[in-house]
Amino acid sequence: MERVLTNLRLVTLSSETSANNNGYQIIEDGMVGITNGKIMFVGSASDSPLACHNDLHGHPDVIDCGNALVTPGLIDCHTHLIFAGNRANEFEQRLNGMPYEEIAKRGGGIVSTVQATREATEDELYQLAIKRLDGLKRDGVTTIEIKSGYGLTLDDELKMLRVARRIGDMSDIKVSTTLLAAHAVPPEYKNRADDYIDYVCQHIIPAAVEQGLADYVDVFCEGIGFSTQQCQRVFETAKDYGLGIKGHTEQLSNLGGSALAARMGATSVDHIEHLDHDGVAALAANDTVATLLPGAYYFLRETQRPPIEHLRKLQVPMAISTDFNPGTSPIASLRTMMNMACTFFRLTPEECLRGVTCNAAQALGLEASRGKISVGMEADLALWDIDTPAELSYRLGVPDLIARIVDGEIFDAK
Ligand code: FE
């Protein structure tokens, strides 16, 4: 082994089932052995081959972690991290009494973000995004999903995805990319949504695939977005090109987009405040993750909560994510989302931890390699100066993170 971490309390989450409450699976006085960025040994120090035989072949780097609590590195599985501009002015205008229609008439709303993003260079978008990313890293995030969706032209969507891939080239963060060209009807296609979907399917998806820029394709299935028929066309095209699919579904109304996405093989459906029992059954039948986005629920002051009890009953895995975006969730803190999932949705702290680790990994199709601490997994970990895992959901604003470990490399939080 190249590196051995000792004196740990390991929150392994290593149970094989995908339900939301199987215990934290904690190992006290734990030890982790790492080779080539992968976990080669997990156990208590007394079980370790090193402890038994004092066998330090290859002189591994042994690090005493001072009884730190260790979780899998956190995974933020739904973000819109890349965009230019800022909607704080709209936030202020609304709180000063200006109606949304007036703000939209003055060029506000998503159109303002699209315009600013189109005008920005890749370098500008990159610099803006890595500052936001720092907030997530402070919460122990080691993997992040990043969506396009503010370009809405072939060139601008690919520009956003190139920036996302460039962020993934950093050694201390892993990025999954998602093409969200079907985010909104761009101004050039006003009242011609079907024509825009043709453009997405015939030009943008093929180009993103050809250039290796997208892992997933996403849609906004909603009255103010795209119909289930339009979303189905996008999903069919994505699948023809070998891409995974996921959806923004049942956020504001119940159109059946979640069930459609699940039946077509989506790894996750996201938001789902208005999901009905048939929709939950479709997720359960297709092993689709329900991704909860409490930041948007909070920021929009929603009152309709996702069907948590029914998701639990049918053992649908729940993920939690920031949905970081300028319009409805400008909050770059995954731990804040864990806290909100507890306070608003009544999730348990254990469900929240699974929601930002193993279940978030499943939402990205990465459950075989990330999200738990077990042999064979990638060595992505977060070391915390806390006593119990519940503190991750309980407390906000205290810098509890000691370090993140990505592929076995240590990145100190300070
Ligand atoms: Fe979103």
Q: How far is the CA of 408 from the centre of ligand 1 (A)?
A: 31
Q: Report d(CA 246, CA 216) in Å as an integer.
A: 7
3-state secondary structure of 288: coil
Q: How confident is the model at residue 60 (pLDDT cuts 50, 70, 90)?
A: confident
Q: How confident is the model at residue 52 (pLDDT cuts 50, 70, 90)?
A: very low
Q: How far is the CA of 228 from the centre of ligand 1 (A)?
A: 17
Q: How confident is the model at residue 15 (pLDDT cuts 50, 70, 90)?
A: confident
Q: For the whole model, what pTM was predicted?
A: 0.96
Q: What is the pLDDT of residue 16?
A: 58
Q: How far is the CA of 78 from the centre of ligand 1 (A)?
A: 6
CB contact at 8 A, 181 and 200: yes
Q: What is the mean pLDDT of the chain?
A: 94
- Summarize pLDDT for 340-358 with one digit per residue, the tens: 999 999 999 999 999 999 9
Annotated binding site: 78, 80, 87, 150, 183, 248, 251, 323, 325, 327-328
Q: How far is the CA of 160 from the centre of ligand 1 (A)?
A: 15
Q: How far is the CA of 59 from the centre of ligand 1 (A)?
A: 46
Q: What is the pLDDT of residue 103?
A: 83
Mean per-residue pLDDT, 21-34: 90
Q: How confident is the model at residue 57 (pLDDT cuts 50, 70, 90)?
A: low
Mean per-residue pLDDT, 259-280: 98
- Summarize pLDDT for 288-300 with one digit per residue, the tens: 999 999 999 999 9
β-bridge pairing 289-292 and 318-320: parallel
Q: Report d(CA 46, CA 59) in Å as an integer.
A: 19
Q: How far is the CA of 79 from the centre of ligand 1 (A)?
A: 6
Q: How far is the CA of 103 from the centre of ligand 1 (A)?
A: 21
- Summarize pLDDT for 137-178 with one digit per residue, the tens: 999 999 999 999 999 999 999 999 999 999 999 999 999 999
Annotated binding site for Fe(3+): 78, 80, 248, 323
Segments of 188-243 assigned E as strands: 216-221
- CATH code for the domain defined by 3-72+372-412: 2.30.40.10
Q: How far is the CA of 217 from the centre of ligand 1 (A)?
A: 13
Residue 97 to residues 89, 90, 102, 124: CA-CA distances in angstroms?
Answer: 13, 11, 10, 33
Annotated binding site for 4-imidazolone-5-propanoate: 87, 150, 183, 251, 328
Task: List the one residue out of 110, 75, 157, 363 whose CA is nearest residue 247.
Answer: 363
Residues with CB under 5 A from ligand 1 (ion): 323
Annotated binding site for Zn(2+): 78, 80, 248, 323
On the question of pLDDT at 249 being above 90, the answer is yes
Number of helical H runs and strand E runs in the chain = 17, 15
Q: How confident is the model at residue 100 (pLDDT cuts 50, 70, 90)?
A: confident
Q: How far is the CA of 268 from the centre of ligand 1 (A)?
A: 12
Indicate the domain borders of the chain.
3-72+372-412, 74-363
In the chain, % of residues over pLDDT 90: 89
Q: Could you tell me the CATH superfamily of domain 74-363?
A: Metal-dependent hydrolases (3.20.20.140)
